[in-house]
Amino acid sequence: MKTKRILCIVTSADRIGPKNLPTGYYFPEVAHAHLVFAADGHEVEFASIKGGEPPMEGYDGTDLANVIFRESAAFGRLNNSHRLGDLDISEFDGVYFPGGHGPMVDLFREEVVKEAIRTSDANGRVIGAVCHGPAALLGVTMSNGGTFLSGRRIAAFTRE
């Protein structure tokens, strides 16, 4: 069986809101997902809008998955993330958007993210998101003029 390649796309935003609070990707949503992907034999790469070391929030040293991931080579790759615009998204079998509050600042408005979603969808790739990660899926206009979310059922935060 061919190894599947998953691209984990994280935020580059380090501040949010009128109080300019610190933010980033939510560490456990990267750590836990990476451990599952790796255990299933998948190769995981990391990208962010700006590339380099993305800001994080939510590290919990009492969570064994967090500790294992933080001590892994994958965490080193995450802290040297690819600039999303430099990658050929068609080389990946799936994309994953973890949450944290940062995606609410940048992922939903960046054209490079929208293009990654359009390309992945057109190539029949799996697109996953968790917590605030689905913000990346907002406002993605497809070639038929509809939006990526039109006619799809997703689990996400509600307006309530």
Q: What is the mean pLDDT of residues 36-65?
A: 97
Does 155 reside within a domain?
no
Report whether 44 contacts 74 (CB < 8 A). yes
**pLDDT tens, residue by residue, 116-128:** 999 999 999 999 9
Model confidence at 158, pLDDT cuts 50, 70, 90, reads low
What confidence score (pLDDT) does residue 43 get?
97
HEC readout, the chain: CCCCEEEEEECCCCEECCCCEECCEEHHHHHHHHHHHHHCCCEEEEEECCCECCCEECCCCCCHHHHHHHCCHHHHHHCCEEEHHHCCHHHCCEEEECCCCHHHCCCCCCHHHHHHHHHHHHCCCEEEECCCHHHHHCCCECCCCCECCCCCCCCCCCCC
Average pLDDT over residues 38-49: 97
What Å distances lie between residue 7 and 4, 11, 59, 64, 143, CA to CA?
Answer: 10, 13, 21, 23, 23
Q: Residue 155: is its pLDDT beyond 80?
A: no
List the CATH number of the domain containing 36: 3.40.50.880
145 assigned to some structural domain: no
Q: Residue range 77-84: average pLDDT? A: 98
**Predicted confidence (pLDDT) per residue in 126-136, tens digit:** 999 999 999 99
Residue type, 139: G
Number of domains in the chain: 1
Task: Provide, rounded to the nearest whole percent, the portion of the chain with pLDDT above 70.
Answer: 97
Q: Give the domain range for residue 103.
A: 5-137
Instruction: Look at residue 2 in the predicted model and tell me its pLDDT.
Output: 76
| pLDDT surpasses 90 at 63 | yes
10 lies in a domain?
yes
Q: If you average pLDDT over residues 73-79, what whole number do you get? A: 98
pTM: 0.95
